[in-house]
Amino acid sequence: VRDWNGVAQVVLRSPRGASARVSLHGGQVVSWRNDRGEELLFTSSKAIFKPPNAMRGGIQMCFPQFGYSGTLERHGFARNRIWALDDEHPLVNHNNDSGSKVSVDLILKPSEDDLKCWPHCFEFRLRVSLSKDGDLSFMSRIRNVNGKPFSFSFAYHTYLSVSDISEVRIEGLETLDYLDNLTHKERFTEQGDAITFESEVDRVYVSSPNVVAVLDHEKKHSFVIRKEGLPDVVVWNPWEKKSKTMVDFGDEEYKQMLCVDAAAVERAITLKPGEEWTGKLELSAVSSTNCSDQ
């Protein structure tokens, strides 16, 4: 655990040299590097690493609200809070069938102030793991420790680093319905081709398959996103005009990033008292020679 700008961060390292850095501010993953030391996540050069707001980049936990779907600040408060190491087992090395993993366990419980704006007692346990091969995975467990049911939406808001957005395509979302945030959540159907980018995109692809690929032509790797318990995928790139309105984002940086978020947005998740929900995400950066387009 290292102290960074007043907030502790945990660095996970795989035996082959991959690494991930997890901040207690927001439970946010602020860096993920492969075994060649290449950074796989986007972080803005204008990012502000000071609480309370989440820094622009990495992987943010959006809970208990995604976007402005409710009365809370955008994407909920979890990404802005200081989380704690989970005392039960803060750091874990575990061996399983697919090899060894190193993990950190974090927990977030609501503060008095959080309960004033969202009056529901919860425990959010987050396990972030790095595998021997450098795959980054997340397991979120959210438990209702309240006397009444509550509902929430959720996303792993994931800023992938790409070489040139005009060369990137996403496979796995073609033919799906999506809600377009640029036209007040109007519903459209994707026309069957892989998704490419030539203007601002802000969409929630609903009821998507559990595996989605982001193919980056110039870079030597592409991303495979595997999810469980999260029916939707949010795709966002602000493009030129919107970039200029964001203080913590460079005017040209939209070319080097793409957000592809495993999420539960269209339908809220409801937990009865004592119930727990689990949502998993696994990210792999694969060499392009292994990709389907070769």
Which residues sit at the interface with ligand BG6, rule CB under 6 A?
Answer: 67, 74-75, 157, 181, 202, 234, 236, 259, 261
Candidates 222, 209, 218, 213; CA nearest to 260 is 213
Provide the 8-state DSSP code for 169.
E
Question: In whole angstroms, what is the distance from residue 267 CA to residue 102 CA?
Answer: 33
CB of 265 to ligand BG6, least distance (A): 9
65 or 131, CB closer to ligand BG6? 65
**Cβ closer to ligand BG6: 55 or 108?**
55
Residues 6+ apart with CB under 8 A from 148: 120, 273
What is the C-alpha to C-alpha distance for residues 80 and 34, in angstroms, rounded to an integer?
27
* Residue closer to ligand BG6 (CB basis): 26 or 172: 26
Smallest gap from residue 199 Cβ to ligand BG6 (A) = 15
Alpha-carbon torsion angle 32, 58, 176, 229, nearest 10: 80
Closest CA relative to residue 59, chosen from 39, 73, 87? 39
Least distance to ligand BG6, CB of residue 1, Å: 26
Rounded Cα distance between 140 and 137, Å, is: 10
Shortest distance, position 69 Cβ to ligand BG6, whole Å: 11
Q: How far is the CB of 259 from ligand BG6 (least distance, A)?
A: 6
Judged by beta carbon, residue 150 or residue 236, the one nearer ligand BG6 is: 236
For ligand BG6, which is the closer residue by CB, 124 or 205? 205
In whole angstroms, give the CA distance from residue 129 to residue 102. Answer: 6
In the bound state with ligand BG6, the residue whose beta carbon lies nearer, of 61 and 106, is 61
254 near 287, Cβ under 8 Å?
no
Quote helix, strand, coil % in the chain, to nearest 5.
Answer: 10, 50, 40
How many other CB atoms are there within 10 angstroms of residue 207's CB atom? 11
Cβ at position 75, least distance to ligand BG6 in Å: 5
| 69: DSSP letter | S
Residue 215 vs 235, nearer CB to ligand BG6: 235
Q: How far is the CB of 53 from ligand BG6 (least distance, A)?
A: 8
